[in-house]
Amino acid sequence: MIRIGILGDIGSGKSFVAKNFGHPVFNADLEVTKLYQKDKKVYNRLNRILPHYFKKFPISKYEVSKAILKNNKNLKKIIKVVHLEVKKKLKFFLDKNKKKKIVILDIPLLLENKINNKNDILVFVQSRKTDILKRLKKRKNFNEKLIKKFRTIQLPLDFKKKKAQFIIKNNFTSSAIKKKIKKILKEI
């Protein structure tokens, strides 16, 4: 199985690119949302370590944001609980798709959490900062302070770009992205 990891900045269009590969995608952000909505165990753990912020189930993104913005240590505590569960979901996804030729890993902290294997093919999604900001502002829960906090736990973009074997300049049009993906898949 070939594992393709998608790297890039917050809002650069990693999920958009991942979907266009046409292979099974593990979307970590989606899995986190599901955990907040459906996993009572995650809620109980977060409630135990941060009772002032997590008072009811399902967990709202607003509660998570509030906890992160209040104290830098809260982000680390939340990550500890959530990432353990995301890794379990990833293992299940990989087991389920072990007969597939290619899988796509859309995991924002792929390198940071050392989830990648040395044989993974890494694709860096590059977008103009102005396009990224425009896209982020369209998000329902856009909060610039929150995005800055998330960027502090990420490796520098230059480092990620150097680690990647391929770079896709994302202009957010499906046809252009599909053409670039086709070229990458041919080279693999």
Which pLDDT score is estimated for 93? Answer: 98
Q: Do residue 84 and residue 49 come from a single domain?
A: yes
Q: Do residue 86 and residue 110 come from a single domain?
A: no
Residue 50 has pLDDT above 80, yes or no: yes
Two structure tokens written together for 72:
């830098």
**Which residues, including other chains, have CB under 8 Å from residue 70's CB and lie 6 or more apart?**
53
Q: Do residue 122 and residue 174 come from a single domain?
A: yes
Q: Which residue has the higher pLDDT, 173 or 128?
A: 128
Which pLDDT score is estimated for 44? Answer: 97
Q: Do residue 105 and residue 187 come from a single domain?
A: yes
Q: CA 81 to CA 54: how far, in whole Å?
A: 13
Q: What integer is the mean pLDDT of 83-100?
A: 97
Residue-wise pLDDT for 96-110, tens only, equals 999 999 999 999 999
Q: What integer is the mean pLDDT of 31-42?
A: 97
- Band of pLDDT at residue 172, cut at 50, 70 and 90: confident
- Band of pLDDT at residue 95, cut at 50, 70 and 90: very high
Domain count, the chain: 2
Q: Do residue 118 and residue 171 come from a single domain?
A: yes
Q: Do residue 123 and residue 82 come from a single domain?
A: no
Q: What is the CATH number of the domain that holds 129?
A: 3.40.50.300
Residue 82 has pLDDT above 90, yes or no: yes
Given a contact cutoff of 8 angstroms between Cβ atoms, the answer to whether 110 and 7 are in contact is yes
Residue 16 has pLDDT above 80, yes or no: yes
Q: What integer is the mean pLDDT of 159-184?
A: 93
Two structure tokens written together for 33:
């949302």
Q: Do residue 181 and residue 113 come from a single domain?
A: yes
Task: Enter the pTM of the model.
Answer: 0.92
Q: Do residue 85 and residue 122 come from a single domain?
A: no
Q: Do residue 109 and residue 168 come from a single domain?
A: yes
- Band of pLDDT at residue 171, cut at 50, 70 and 90: confident
For Cα atoms 109, 111, 113, give the angle at the middle one, nearest 5 degrees: 65
Q: Do residue 165 and residue 125 come from a single domain?
A: yes
Q: CA 119 to CA 115: how far, in whole Å?
A: 12
Q: CA 110 to CA 59: how far, in whole Å?
A: 24
Tell me which residue range forms the domain holding 69.
28-96
- Residue 27 backbone zone (phi > 0: left; psi -120 to 50: alpha; other: beta): beta
Q: CA 20 to CA 178: how far, in whole Å?
A: 6
**96, 112, 135 — which closes off a domain?**
96
Residue-wise pLDDT for 117-141, tens only, equals 999 999 999 999 888 888 888 888 7
Query: Pick from 142, 99, 100: which is nearest to 11 by CA?
Result: 142
Q: Do residue 91 and residue 113 come from a single domain?
A: no
Q: Which residue has the higher pLDDT, 46 or 131?
A: 46
Q: CA 110 to CA 89: how far, in whole Å?
A: 14
